[in-house]
Structure 1
Amino acid sequence: MSDLFQSHGQPDSFPVDLLPPVVRQYVVEGAESRAAAPSIVALPVLVTLGACVGTTHKIAAKQGWIVPAMLWGAVVARSGSVKSVGYDLAHELLKHAEDQANREFENAKREYDLAEQEYRKAHAQWLKSKEEIAPPVPPEPPTGDRLVVDDQTVESLAPLLVENPKGLFLLSDELRGFFDGMGAYASGGRAGKDEARWLTLFDGRPLSVDRKTNRERIYAPMAGVSVAGTIQPGTLAKAVSGGQVESGLLARLLLVMPEPRPKRWTDAEMHDATKLAMQRLVDRLRSLEHKALNGSLESNVLRLDNEARDRFKFFVNAHGLETFKQHDSLAAAYSKLEGYALRFALIHHLAVWASGDQLSPPRSIGLESIEAGIELSRWFAAEAERVYEKIGVVAEPVLQPADQHLDRLEEWLRSKGGAATERDISRGPRRYRSGHHVEDDCKALIQAGRAKWDISRRTRHIVLAGDSDSSAENETIRVEVSPSQTDNTEGLSTTANEDGRDTISLSERNKRKVSPSPPNTASFQERIRVTI
């Protein structure tokens, strides 16, 4: 992998290592072959994966908190900065299936036209006939299997959403029309009903549209649209000045804005094996279906396993504090990124499944996927801060990166029971996996009075303040004593602990050596178990 993807700390150091292996390879080779920043490719590809899943599967953090896989994303870059690379690569993944679906629709349309002509003839003869016979039945018009669309008004998308309950994908090389369309039915350029309807489509909820032309009511019980495209910084700044910040539209957009770089030649090309593996993954995601329940379609809801749920719980609490400290506009983005962590986890889980040969996706989502979702959410949070500042939505970030790193290390430690070794940390949050920052952040956490070193074990642990059973000033040994074992602890000074077990003070321990009875002379029930 080239140095292009190794520059940690730079504005565009997109965490490609969090992506499933097949997706990661496609993003890396795609960016290298176009001499583009990895985020320009990663965001449209992630949105494409979510669009392929559509409304067929959702993820539940708990009862009542269920979100779909659909994402909204925009690559923010000026013209001439290869900003369309990700759009092109995403479109390539869907082109074959879209072409095939279009051919099938055209064939069905021709058959329908012929059947319609026959029906009209039969209907005319029936009108002339004096016999009491049932009228001919008109043919059903064909419906097209659609995913990619380019029309950006909800009224035009509504009939397609009825025909395609899995959802649609607005993949546009220029998203200006997406923002302009928000005011299509309002006066004075203000956002109209379309904006509120688009916010509904973000969550895959039912959609109801009353057409003005023929007073027709269109109802889609399951409607969702994924959005991906590019937009220039100045255009985005103008687009969100009309109320889209306050409405929450901007908060729902995942943004990437790589630093400008001149276009340059590269001999790198994407390998055919990489294309084939990714195409197979996308095709498997597109093959996912809803479940049928009482004659209607329902989403398959996947839940977090216990370990993943505990991890997400600690993230929610820490992320809530970060959100509370932000400016209003960034707080809105942070609040949506909490749910995005779940969406990323669902996409990661299903992409891993689609990379293999298992017949159907596992019903529960594990720790690896939720960790990837959390880390991706946090990367996009940092990127949102940077983009918001550049386009003038906020003056400057409220939270300093150093403070965030300590808060997140503390959060991770709490999810692990309040203590961990430095080696554990280097295998945990992405920031520490290179081996960097572990010691420095641990020292900073200790200096802030939020943790301390525990060197009473073979390997030293960092222990959160208030989470340790022992301290340097008042260390105790817990001893569980059975009624028949009082002779082994005679003369030791003990005190009652909060959990009802007795403890021996450190000063007494130094005077007497306490050890378990030898295995060959006492039963398991008669041993004294000592825990430091």
Structure 2
Amino acid sequence: MDGIKISLHDANCKIKRERISNFPIEVFPPFVQDVIIEMYENGNYNMDYFAGGILSSFASSIGNKYHIRKDITWSENTSLWIVMIGWSGQNKSAPQKLAYRSIKDKQSEFEKEYKTALESYDSSLDEVKPLRKKLYTTESTFESLLKMHHDNPHGITVIPDEFKTFVDGLVGYNGASRRSSYLSVWDGAPLSLDRKEAESAFIEKPCVNIIGGIQDDVIASLKSKDTKDGFFERMLFVIPQKMEKRYVSDTPIDEHLLSVFQTKMKGFLEEMLDGDLYNDIPLSKNANVRLNKELNSHVEPSNKDRNVSGILSKLDRYMLRLALIMEVADCYFNDRVINEVSLSSMEKAILLKNYFYSNALQINDIMEQSYETNTPNGKVYSILKAIGKETFTSKEFIQVAKELHHIGRSRSYELLSISKLTQELGKGQYRSKIDCD
């Protein structure tokens, strides 16, 4: 790995995965790397999907147990919003289910405990009603999510069956959008809920993870609904280098290795659920210097491109979250005490950041292309980019519209009249409102 010493084991795993995946699985503890490769080779699992699922499950398990603090003004929890991108039938769900098995098993335990406690509960005795503790939910309103988080301050994970359904569902029956509420959740800002139809709830330090899957052609359709609020910039996209269907291996899965993996994942979760919450972990001096260097490397590309700026501003924060996850996981699997986030963990976080940054640019290109092809404003946007001038004539617009989108004269004038991206200056003269540089 760049910037740090790499073991022979990590080097071998890196060589194996580079043939078929860009996901830097060498950031994980060696044992986890072995499981990922085993399930790829003999379980027919996509390496990116399984690695992304494990990363998400680590984040969910840690929850609010630990926070990372850069300085007195900047701290982060372990919240990750991961979206698996792939063709239909790419088996995105099975690797995720295996990665989350310990969390789902634990929730089943909580459910049994709740039912047992409810059977002995007597409201007439002025007893405290048992809490229904949840670690994850597949479908809920934002109000329900907040109530679940209130009952479990450790954190909650949203695992929608389809990510598109989740995004569409953010607009409620009354037309109000909950996107802004989720943005506040991602930021870790305190949240309160006071509504007649729901119990009051206050979350001082929300920690909500999201993991879901969507087809690559479907996510492009969401561009037309994007309100430029930074919602999609908060997503960490997992995109396999190779999506083709693979032949089933004749070699059976190493069941012992898988059993040990599940035992260790269960132990990791149990340790994270035990003890106090909100333990602040500082950066080591070297980790802080390395982070500052990487943050500074984002300045120039951010100043050159607005879309890049939106992506990198979120990844700036994700680097801290990823470094914390790497440190906590490494300490657990290597039986070390957590004191500070090391330089090694920060280097691993940067490798992950680079992976997610590359994927974000790829998704942005896909969404831009779909937006420019399939929506009125998108068509105008692409025409104005092609014209490349601040002021232009209707004749120029009509000519480029015909070349790019095979649009006739009448439709071109219609687009000019309805678009908010142009301003009429006079007869046949217009000004572009987009950056033409």
Secondary structure of the corresponding residue to residue 201 of structure 1: helix
Identity of aligned residues (%): 25
2:323 to 345, 370, 386: 345
Alpha-carbon distance, 1:155 to partner: 0.8
> What is the aligned partner in structure 2 of residue 333 from structure 1?
311
Equivalent pair of 1:40/1:83 in contact (CA under 8 Å): yes
Deviations 1:399-426 (A, max 9, x none): xxxxxxxxxxxxxxxxxxxxxxxxxxxx
1:254 to 227, 232, 236: 236
Q: Which moved more, 1:306-315 or 1:203-212?
A: 203-212
2:287 to 308, 311, 316: 308
Query: Is 2:298 the partner of 1:319?
Result: yes
- Specify whether residues 253 and 186 from structure 1 end up closer, same or farther in structure 2 by C-alpha distance, changes over 3 A only: farther
Alpha-carbon distance, 1:270 to partner: 4.1
Secondary structure of the corresponding residue to residue 202 of structure 1: helix
Query: Is 2:49 the partner of 1:7?
Result: no
- Specify whether residues 22 and 206 from structure 1 end up closer, same or farther in structure 2 by C-alpha distance, changes over 3 A only: farther
Alpha-carbon distance, 1:379 to partner: 1.3
For the residues of structure 1 that align with 2:64 and 2:27, how far apart are their CA atoms?
Answer: 24
Q: Which moved more, 1:31-40 or 1:315-324?
A: 31-40
1:77 to 70, 75, 86: 86
Amino acid at match of 1:343: R
Higher relative contact order (CA 8 A, sep 6+): 2
1:397-436 counterparts in 2 under 5 A? Answer: none
Query: Is 2:192 the partner of 1:211?
Result: no
> What is the aligned partner in structure 1 of residue 402 from structure 2?
none
Alpha-carbon distance, 1:324 to partner: 2.5
Equivalent pair of 2:162/2:212 in contact (CA under 8 Å): yes
Query: Is 2:29 the partner of 1:20?
Result: yes
Q: Which moved more, 1:44-53 or 1:330-339?
A: 330-339
Amino acid at match of 1:392: E
2:348 to 364, 367, 372: 372
Alpha-carbon distance, 1:274 to partner: 4.3
Deviations 1:93-135 (A, max 9, x none): 32321221111111111112xx23xx2xxxxxxxxxxxxxxxx
RMSD: 2.6
1:266 to 236, 249, 258: 249
Deviations 1:45-66 (A, max 9, x none): 1111101111121111222111
Equivalent pair of 2:319/2:349 in contact (CA under 8 Å): yes
Equivalent pair of 1:207/1:220 in contact (CA under 8 Å): yes
Q: Which moved more, 1:331-340 or 1:65-74?
A: 331-340
Structure 1's unaligned 5+ residue stretches are 120-136, 293-297, 397-532
Amino acid at match of 1:76: I
For the residues of structure 1 that align with 2:196 and 2:86, how far apart are their CA atoms?
Answer: 38
Equivalent pair of 2:110/2:132 in contact (CA under 8 Å): yes
Equivalent pair of 2:84/2:213 in contact (CA under 8 Å): yes
> What is the aligned partner in structure 2 of residue 229 from structure 1?
212
Equivalent pair of 1:158/1:209 in contact (CA under 8 Å): yes
Alignment coverage as a number of residue pairs = 359
Amino acid at match of 1:264: Y
What is the TM-score when the length of structure 1 is the normalising length? Answer: 0.63
- Specify whether residues 4 and 370 from structure 1 end up closer, same or farther in structure 2 by C-alpha distance, changes over 3 A only: closer
Alpha-carbon distance, 1:279 to partner: 3.3
Q: Which moved more, 1:65-74 or 1:252-261?
A: 252-261
For the residues of structure 2 that align with 1:373 and 1:331, how far apart are their CA atoms?
Answer: 19
- Specify whether residues 340 and 333 from structure 1 end up closer, same or farther in structure 2 by C-alpha distance, changes over 3 A only: same
> What is the aligned partner in structure 2 of residue 242 from structure 1?
225
Amino acid at match of 2:324: L
For the residues of structure 1 that align with 2:179 and 2:24, how far apart are their CA atoms?
Answer: 32
- Write 1 or 2 for the structure with the bigger share of helix: 2
For the residues of structure 1 that align with 2:103 and 2:273, how far apart are their CA atoms?
Answer: 17
For the residues of structure 2 that align with 1:147 and 1:140, how far apart are their CA atoms?
Answer: 21
For the residues of structure 1 that align with 2:61 and 2:92, how far apart are their CA atoms?
Answer: 22
Equivalent pair of 1:22/1:274 in contact (CA under 8 Å): no
For the residues of structure 2 that align with 1:241 and 1:219, how far apart are their CA atoms?
Answer: 34
Alpha-carbon distance, 1:314 to partner: 0.7
For the residues of structure 1 that align with 2:90 and 2:97, how far apart are their CA atoms?
Answer: 14
Amino acid at match of 2:322: F
For the residues of structure 1 that align with 2:367 and 2:74, how far apart are their CA atoms?
Answer: 33
- Specify whether residues 60 and 181 from structure 1 end up closer, same or farther in structure 2 by C-alpha distance, changes over 3 A only: same
1:150-189 counterparts in 2 under 5 A? Answer: 150-184=138-172, 187=175
- Specify whether residues 336 and 290 from structure 1 end up closer, same or farther in structure 2 by C-alpha distance, changes over 3 A only: farther
Equivalent pair of 1:173/1:229 in contact (CA under 8 Å): yes
Q: Bigger radius of gyration, 1 or 2?
A: 1
Secondary structure of the corresponding residue to residue 199 of structure 1: helix
Query: Is 2:53 the partner of 1:44?
Result: yes
Structure 2's unaligned 5+ residue stretches are 1-11, 373-437
Alpha-carbon distance, 1:16 to partner: 1.1
Query: Is 2:62 the partner of 1:53?
Result: yes
1:457-476 counterparts in 2 under 5 A? Answer: none
Amino acid at match of 1:168: I
Secondary structure of the corresponding residue to residue 365 of structure 1: coil
Alpha-carbon distance, 1:240 to partner: 3.9
For the residues of structure 2 that align with 1:5 and 1:74, how far apart are their CA atoms?
Answer: 24
- Specify whether residues 381 and 275 from structure 1 end up closer, same or farther in structure 2 by C-alpha distance, changes over 3 A only: farther
Alpha-carbon distance, 1:75 to partner: 0.5
Query: Is 2:188 the partner of 1:200?
Result: no
Amino acid at match of 2:272: L
Secondary structure of the corresponding residue to residue 79 of structure 1: coil
For the residues of structure 1 that align with 2:262 and 2:313, how far apart are their CA atoms?
Answer: 32
> What is the aligned partner in structure 2 of residue 445 from structure 1?
none
> What is the aligned partner in structure 2 of residue 122 from structure 1?
none
